[in-house]
Amino acid sequence: MKNIILFDTESLHLELLPLTFTRPISDIRFGIFTIREKWEQMYPGNYSYKTNDYLATKYPLQTDDNNYFIAGNICPDKELIQKLDKLSEQESLFYNDELIAFYGTLDAFQENDFGVVHPLKNEPLSLHKLYDIFINNDIALERDYKIITSKKQSAPLPASNRIIGNPNFEDGTPKIFIEPGASIECVTLNVTHGPIYIGKDTEIMENSSIRAPFAACEHVVVNMGTKIYGATTLGPYCKVGGELNNVIMQAYSNKGHDGFLGNAVIGEWCNLGAGTNASNLKNDYSEIKLWNYPSRRFLRTGLQFCGLIMGDHSKAGINCMFNTATVLGVGVNVHGSGFPRNFVASFSEGGTAGFSDVPLSKFFSIAERMMARRGKVLTEVDRAIFEAIHDETENLK
């Protein structure tokens, strides 16, 4: 069995904050699966991580005499896998100046001794900026959907639902896939622009309207009358309502009520209160600037649409409003009327009147209560990670 190590670079770890505060890059959900899950589906092996030191206890490194080191921001495809299989010891794959993969020892990898270099002809699907997650989610979602439908068959779609568009792809593959235990009744499903995936034990309540491409992973709840535009992914155990457009929620997060969220990325264990709205377009239609952690300032994106980026365990009270392209770190609690600033550092609480620091003891108490509702426990390993993030946040404010 191949020993495969998904590695993070320091520059990309910083570029993809706040999501990578709490996970390796390859554990970001993008499409239906996380990047690691994509690799596991397409390239069997023993997988581990080479990531930041403070994450290593939860995401350990396992080495062998020779290892496949694969960049954690890169998604697999047929060309890349074929190239990997042809690598000999001390050989590597590059796309332009970016290391994609290396086959060899840990010592050689750490010394940047990548031996014989083989170029990739085509650029792989990858994450380099936070907004890549929602810009390319349609591509990632459709690729993942094809993996799923190549391995198993869908449960039947109940007759009470309404399908708009051709229900099959040109090759005859159905555009709607339903896992066992899912409940979906009296829902409008528009598959004109791609597939719809409904995960195990997920519930899509009546009078909801969904436009593909769309994925609801296991144990998701979509409340009555929800309006969802693609390309949207709801990670495991998320709960949503209101209106969503091109939103990716990692897992265990809630936006259960009316309010708009568009071109957004939401981490784990987040909650958006009733009536919360987040702008994704400036009134003057100008180019959007987004907070960039490595440079510690707002940078041009070339985008016209960009909404809320929310780190793990962050919250918004009822009727909160967010300006276009707002970035919240880890453990942020926003409440009150008006628009808070466009970047809020981790472990902060407040609103338009200003923010104060959240003590770790208070953060842990809130996190424990929220996780307990889903039968999860905040472990000592998790606590150590948040303590490290808390220390680092003082340097990033």
**259: CATH:** 2.160.10.10
Confirm whether 292 is domain-assigned: yes
Residue 396 has pLDDT above 80, yes or no: no
**Are 17 and 89 part of one and the same domain?**
yes
**Are 209 and 80 part of one and the same domain?**
no
> The whole model's pTM is what?
0.96
CATH of residue 21's domain is 3.90.550
Work out whether strand 289-292 and strand 321-322 pair parallel, antiparallel, or are unpaired: unpaired
Count of C-beta atoms within a 10 Å radius of residue 108? 19
SS3 287: coil
Confirm whether 141 is domain-assigned: no
Confirm whether 97 is domain-assigned: yes
**Are 225 and 349 part of one and the same domain?**
yes
Closest C-alpha to 330, from 295, 364, 280: 364
Q: What is the DSSP letter of 203?
A: E
| Chain centre distance of CA 185 | 28
CA distance 63 to 47: 10
Q: For the segment 12-24, what is each residue's pLDDT rounded down to a tens digit?
A: 999 999 999 999 9
Residue 395 has pLDDT above 70, yes or no: no
Confirm whether 139 is domain-assigned: no
**Are 34 and 170 part of one and the same domain?**
no
**Are 155 and 123 part of one and the same domain?**
no
Confirm whether 28 is domain-assigned: yes
**Are 233 and 269 part of one and the same domain?**
yes
Confidence of residue 394 (pLDDT cuts 50, 70, 90): low
Confirm whether 135 is domain-assigned: no
Q: What share of the chain is helix, strand, coil (3-state, %, to 5)?
A: 20, 30, 50
Domain final residue pick, 98, 128, 158: 128
**Are 114 and 215 part of one and the same domain?**
no
If you average pLDDT over residues 311-334, what whole number do you get? 97
**Are 356 and 244 part of one and the same domain?**
yes
**Are 205 and 271 part of one and the same domain?**
yes
User: Total structural domains in the chain?
Assistant: 2
Count of C-beta atoms within a 10 Å radius of residue 342? 17
**Are 119 and 165 part of one and the same domain?**
no
**Are 285 and 254 part of one and the same domain?**
yes
Domain that holds residue 118: 3-128
Largest CA distance in the chain: 60
Residue 225 has pLDDT above 80, yes or no: yes
Contact 308, 328 (CB under 8 A): yes
Confirm whether 347 is domain-assigned: yes
Closest C-alpha to 39, from 140, 123, 110: 140
**Are 104 and 169 part of one and the same domain?**
no
Confidence of residue 228 (pLDDT cuts 50, 70, 90): very high
Give the strands of the sheet with 239-240, arranged side by side: 183-184, 203-204, 221-222, 239-240, 254-255, 271-272, 315-316, 333-334, 348-351, 354-357
If you average pLDDT over residues 25-39, what whole number do you get? 98
Tokens read off for 29 = 């959900």
For the ranges 288-292, 361-365, 388-392, the lowest mean pLDDT is seen at: 388-392
Q: For the segment 143-195, what is each residue's pLDDT rounded down to a tens digit?
A: 999 999 999 999 999 999 999 999 999 998 999 999 999 999 999 999 999 99
If you average pLDDT over residues 121-138, what whole number do you get? 97
Domain final residue pick, 60, 94, 128: 128
Q: For the segment 259-307, what is each residue's pLDDT rounded down to a tens digit?
A: 999 999 999 999 999 999 999 999 999 999 999 999 999 999 999 999 9
If you average pLDDT over residues 328-356, what whole number do you get? 95
Percent of all residues in the chain with a pLDDT value above 90, rounded to a whole number: 96
Confirm whether 60 is domain-assigned: yes
Domain final residue pick, 93, 128, 163: 128
Q: What is the pLDDT of residue 393?
A: 76
